[in-house]
A and B are shown apart, each in its own frame.
Chain A
């Protein structure tokens, strides 16, 4: 039986406010947005959004050539290399954290699950949005799944997995939004919720309560699905490059690219949880409850220790791969130097930092290691998709992103950060609401 928390007195108050307030719902939302404080950060966000809107109009009216340096030699640029490949890898924290907590039984990481799922959901959502800019004709996005099945293509598998996993992540994340919507109460003055919006929320409340209950009941199956789908598409992103042995530099090309992509995504996901938690601690400290604050160091130490083992395994696999392909001589070239920078600077060094942090129980080592690992994943995906790709072409034919391409990626990242800030500020992500605490 759904709860009916509203009293007749409150209903009368809402009706009174509706009579006093003639403002439309649209104007109400516009007022909410325009009443945001004019801080430097908000103004910078606004400028980036304006740029993003301009690039969007140009992309979909003048074509991809007007905003990018892509050509037949380089059909995949920064939008694939950064927005998609880095976005998917860095969003791996969702499945790693939820499987550690719900499948492996490490309940001490419970406070990290909601931020990790939120980051993963936003990451995947904006991966799909960024993909729309690259492929064009967004209305044809469902074609491979509905009209023309490309079952022999790895991209089909990637698209299918990303689509399903985005839905899974949305369902996993939805209790955060539902708890927020259910906890909204009417208040007086400027902060008052619009009567029509409030009325709709009150009407929705019992249904949200039921849906939330079903979603929480589905936690384990959803986590299992998340692990399966992530295993499939994280590795498939590496498989995409198996088709280009002559275009990708031998140091980066390997028959084990799918394994490398999957293993590195685990390290990336865990590091992203630590990195994002560090930033959240600095910027949103006041939004965290006692449990989050008390568990934060333990989460960093536990995840960091796991990450050090994963990075050590990844490092040794890369060395063995060089041995298997007999690529030692390439190490003494310019590309080899860059490969060593990636492997030592962004894999071995963070691995040792994590290990020392785990040994000495120092979280500051781990936080630096997390930042280095996140940077390392970006460097690796850039190398595979751009720097070491088409390495034999003369420099005039090589790809370099245009200013507008870079700005679109900045726009996408700004959208993710803004959405994360909104969720962290409004919704119970870094804290638990008292009325729902016992259900977690």
Chain B
């Protein structure tokens, strides 16, 4: 229960900052997930050189 707007803002902003931190970490993991196989196999970014 929030009694003042200040209480509400402190609670929601704190939560949002935590979520932002989690997002940053998750985003790095997500990007690694997409690109990791390219790095391991040494596949170039230029798809024209790829054989599908």
The reply to whether A323 and B19 form a contact with Cβ atoms under 8 Å apart is yes
Using known A-B contacts A359-B34, A359-B36, determine if residue A326 contacts B12 with beta carbons closer than 8 Å: yes
Q: Judging by beta carbons under 8 Å apart, are B47 and A108 in contact? A: yes
Complex Cα distance A297/B47, Å? 9
Q: Is B6 part of the contact surface with A, judged by Cβ < 8 Å?
A: no
Report A-chain residues with C-beta under 8 Å of the C-beta of B26: 316
- Bound Cα distance A324, B11 (Å): 9
- Over the window 26-52 of chain B, the binary record of Cβ atoms lying under 8 Å from chain A Cβ atoms (1 yes, 0 no) is 110011011011000000001110101
Known: A301-B47, A316-B26. A359 touches B31 (CB 8 A): no
Closest to B20 in A: A320
A302 interface residue per 8 A CB criterion: yes
**Interface status of A215 (Cβ within 8 A of chain B):** no
Contact with B along A290-306 (1 / 0, CB 8 A): 00000001100110010
Shortest Cβ distance from residue A369 to the other chain B in the assembled complex, whole angstroms: 13
Q: Do A323 and B12 touch (CB < 8 A)? A: yes
Is B30 within 8 A of A361, CB to CB?
no
Q: In the complex the two chains form, what is the Cα distance from A326 to B19 in whole Å?
A: 13
Q: How far is the CA of A320 from the CA of B14 in the complex (A)?
A: 11
For residue A69, give the distance in angstroms from its CB to the closest CB of chain B.
Answer: 38
CA distance A70 to B19 in the complex (A): 41
Binary flags per residue of A344-364, CB closer than 8 Å to B gives 1, else 0: 000000000001001111000
Q: Does A325 contact B52, Cβ atoms closer than 8 Å?
A: no
CA distance in complex: A195, B31 (Å): 60
- Chain A residues whose CB sits within 8 angstroms of the CB of B27 once the complex forms: 312-313, 316
Tell me if A309 counts as interface (CB < 8 A to partner B). yes
Question: How long is the Cα–Cα vector from A10 to B52 in the complex, in angstroms?
Answer: 48
Q: CB-CB < 8 A to A264: which residues of B?
A: none
Are A323 and B16 closer than 8 Å at their CB atoms? yes
Contact of B47 among A302, A313, A325, A326 (CB under 8 A): A302
- Tell me if B23 and A298 are in contact (CB < 8 A): no
How near does chain B come to A301, taking the closest CB pair, in angstroms?
6
B37→A359 contact, CB < 8 A? yes
Cβ-neighbour of A320 out of B16, B31, B50 (below 8 A): B16
Residue numbers in B under 8 Å from A316 (CB-CB): 19, 23, 26-27
The residue on B at minimum CB distance from A316 is: B23
A223 at the interface (CB under 8 A from B): no
Q: Which residue in A309, A319, A323, A325 is a CB contact (below 8 Å) of B31?
A: A309
Q: Is the CB of A355 within 8 A of B34?
A: yes
Q: How far is the CB of B29 from chain A (nearest CB, A)?
A: 10
Knowing A108-B46, A108-B47, A361-B50 are in contact, say whether A323-B15 is a contact too (CB < 8 A). Answer: yes
Contacts of A298 in B (CB 8 A): 47-48, 50
Q: Are A324 and B12 in contact (CB under 8 A)?
A: yes
Docked-complex contact A324 and B37, CB < 8 angstroms: no
Interface residue ranges of A126-176 to B (CB < 8 Å) = none
Check: A308 CB closer than 8 A to any chain B CB: yes
Q: How many angstroms from the CA of A323 to the CA of B31 in the assembled complex?
A: 24
A301 to B37, CA, bound (A): 14
Residue of A nearest to B24 (CB): A316
B48 and A108 contacting across the interface, CB-CB below 8 Å:
yes
Q: For B16, list chain A residues within 8 Å (CB).
A: 320, 323-324
Q: Chain A: which residue is nearest B31 at the CB level?
A: A309
Known: A320-B23, A324-B12, A326-B11. A355 touches B47 (CB 8 A): no
Q: Is the CB of A325 within 8 A of B34?
A: no
Q: How far, in angstroms, from A82 to B15 measured CA to CA in the complex? A: 35
Q: Write out the residue numbers on chain B whose beta carbons fall within 8 Å of the beta carbon of A313.
A: 27
Expressed in whole angstroms, the minimum distance between the Cβ of B46 and any Cβ of chain A is 7
Q: How far is the CA of A108 from the CA of B52 in the complex (A)?
A: 16
Q: Which residues of A contact B13 (CB under 8 A)?
A: 324
Q: Across the two chains, which residue of chain A brings its CB closest to B41?
A: A361
Closest chain-A Cβ to B31's Cβ sits at a distance in Å of 7
Residues of the A chain whose Cβ atoms lie less than 8 Å from the Cβ of B30? 309, 312, 355
- Tell me how far the C-beta of B39 lies from the nearest C-beta in chain A, rounded to whole angstroms: 11
Interface positions of B (Cβ within 8 A of A):
8, 11-13, 15-16, 19-20, 23, 26-27, 30-31, 33-34, 36-37, 46-48, 50, 52
What would be 28 A-B contacts, judged by CB atoms less than 8 Å apart? A108-B47, A297-B47, A297-B52, A298-B48, A301-B47, A302-B47, A305-B34, A308-B34, A309-B30, A312-B27, A312-B30, A316-B19, A316-B23, A319-B19, A320-B16, A320-B19, A320-B20, A323-B15, A323-B16, A323-B19, A325-B12, A326-B12, A355-B34, A359-B36, A359-B37, A360-B37, A361-B50, A361-B52
Please list the 9 inter-chain residue pairs (A to B) with the smallest Cβ-Cβ separation, ordered nearest first.
A298-B47, A316-B23, A323-B15, A358-B34, A320-B19, A323-B16, A324-B16, A326-B12, A359-B37
